[in-house]
Structure 1
Amino acid sequence: MWGFKSYTDEFYILEIQKENMKVINHFHTYCRDYFRKTYKKLFQEENLEDDFFQESFVKLWKEIRRCSIFVQNNQIYKRNAAGEINLLKCSLRTYLIDITKNDYNQYLRKKEVSARDMKQLLNSKMSEADVTTHTEDLKSKIVSECVKNLPDSCYKIISLFYYEQKNYDEIMEMSDNYTSKDALKTRKYKCMEQLQKRIEEKFNMYNLKPYLHERGNFK
């Protein structure tokens, strides 16, 4: 039986580089359970924490796979974007959670900017003749902002599928985050549910009629 406290970060890194799925899944569960227990209350919106954690885990996995994080002489090093190599001064779990928190803070900052822009649009003076145009502009802006403020993985899927008109096979070729077309379809479905919920909440806030979406309708 796997014991969560029995493995060193050096062991995790070496086994992840070997694509040992048993170890990868073990490390994922170990970090995810701690994250849920410790940081769930930080998230203002329900069910977002797992999305952000999963995206951060993929980022860490990629860093280890391309040896940006590696083990040498029983020490863990990190190579930054400039190619400089330094000791990793925290545990892998702490590093992963820092990525998650930083991504979420960026998401919150984007939401704050979007809210200010929306308020300015609502408070702008306009004539009666501009009401219809204003309403459609507001709807389009809400949809656009809701898409932009999705977690990165959802934003990429929806952008590729709706904006760039890519099919599932093309998206699979452009991403290594999905093991099958069914997994991608499931993820897209969940992303669309999340997006629709956000759009409906915003529309209700501004007393707008429902927005009927079809492929290619996000502009």
Structure 2
Amino acid sequence: MKMRTTPQLEARLIAGMFNRNKKAQSELYAYCSRYFWASYRGIFFADEETATEIFQNTFIAFWENIERRKIYASEDRVMGKNDEPLSGSILTYFMGIARIKYLEWVREHPSYADPETEMGRKVKEEGFDAQQYINMLYDSEDNKMLDIIADVISHMSERCSEILSKFYYEEKDLDTILLEIPTIDSKNALKTKKHKCMEALRTSAKNIYHNYLNS
């Protein structure tokens, strides 16, 4: 879903949330809610009750990040890591948290994992621990892993870089990506390619991060 956003609007909402302005808090909640409910099916599979739980947990974590000044408003911009402006909107940031909350839910409810998704397949077939995936993608201390992942993706093959960027950063679903990459002839072929790209990304990122920790 595309929403018209402005840095000034988002900065006002973040500042209002931090300052406990009731009107801004309600507005931010509605702003995130509209985007979540229009977008989540393109990111993960969950029934409405589960999605509601994920949304509520995501909003709480989002609020905590604002309270802790992990993101904050300054001069009509929303700032984040290293006191730099967010690279995307707060909606993209919010959905990043939602992904983590979904992975946590899958880890706690493995029987509900959808075998059509990479996470679901690993849970059902390999006893995959979702927490390992979370730790790999999101380093809670300095987000170093996120930097590593972005760098690895930029140096992968053109096709892998294109698929992973569209899926994880542009938040496009597989059907949309298939339309945008006509040289891939089926959704199953796209799934297979994305899986192989993700495995390569995971291996490279883990090795680089391991060297970073031991340097």
TM-score, shorter chain, exceeding 0.5? no
Q: Which one has the largest radius of gyration?
A: 1
Q: Could you state the TM-score of these two structures normalised by the residue count of structure 1?
A: 0.43
Tell me which protein shows more helix as a share of its residues. 2
Q: Could you state the TM-score of these two structures normalised by the residue count of structure 2?
A: 0.44
